[in-house]
Structure 1
């Protein structure tokens, strides 16, 4: 939905939480479409990115790093393993646990997905200059970190 005069009351058009939500909905649709065209989902991308950046990890650690529920991690890892994008091996420290690693094919696939998602980001943020894009990322990061810190404090308190 395009924000044009008369489409919504001004108090809605200027409500940051509504604007963030509308932008997020557009972003999610765009990213989901790009990934679906490649036969993957956001979970797959997040897991491959975590493995590439942090190295081999247990499924539990991957869930914590990506914010994906444990049962969803297992299902997504199964799908990635079927495509030979990741492999599991027994944890030498605890044979009951598996360590997941990204394969060479998984790294190649991740590089392709990175390029496609970069183009999607360009499409989403087309009206913004490079400086404005950096500023938007900085501002949203501050909002997210503040909310995450508050969530942690509520859990601890």
Structure 2
């Protein structure tokens, strides 16, 4: 890295990226991930939310009530971090905790009516942010891009 260069920043015209670097899918994905993460994190913050809030609410909406361990597995949030995320959501009345009737030592987490409304708002926020992220692509290209990313991710995360 040269002096003054920032990781993940685009070429400014004065600096030229070697073609062999521009052809590396891993490098392109990494740079796009940095930009995407910044865009989504900042956009959700303006909506008073975080990515983990969205992940938990989406999981509860799609799959129903769950234990903290189940939510951790569904969302990719470490179990040690899940308590903090759930505390934040519960303080805002976006989720409800209740003792599991089958095992009183654990809680069952349910999305609240307020949480469902908040999730719909976050869906719109993320739709707008994804429009911004994928602006250079046509709707058909966006769909194809997501399909390709999904196929790659599925390939690399499936048990062998």
TM-score, normalised by the number of residues in structure 2: 0.91
Deviations 1:87-124 (A, max 9, x none): 10000000001000000000000000000100000000
TM-score, normalised by the number of residues in structure 1: 0.92
Deviation, 1:38, is: 1.7
Structure 1 unmatched runs, 5+: none
Structure 2 unmatched runs, 5+: 1-8
- The count of aligned residue pairs is 151
Q: Aligned to 2:89, which of 61, 80, 88? A: 80
Deviations 1:5-54 (A, max 9, x none): 75211111110001011111111001001111122111111000000111
Deviations 1:115-140 (A, max 9, x none): 01000000000000011001101111
Residue 10 of structure 2: SS of its match in structure 1? Answer: coil
Distance 2:123 2:16 in 1: 35
Does the CA contact (< 8 Å) of 1:125 and 1:133 recur in 2? yes
Deviation, 1:3, is: 4.8
Distance 1:56 1:3 in 2: 46
Is residue 64 of structure 1 aligned with residue 73 of structure 2?
Answer: yes
Partner of 1:115: 124
Distance 2:135 2:10 in 1: 15
Q: Aligned to 2:20, which of 1, 5, 11? A: 11
Distance 2:72 2:24 in 1: 33
Q: Alpha carbon RMSD of aligned pairs, Å? A: 1.2
Is residue 104 of structure 1 aligned with residue 113 of structure 2?
Answer: yes
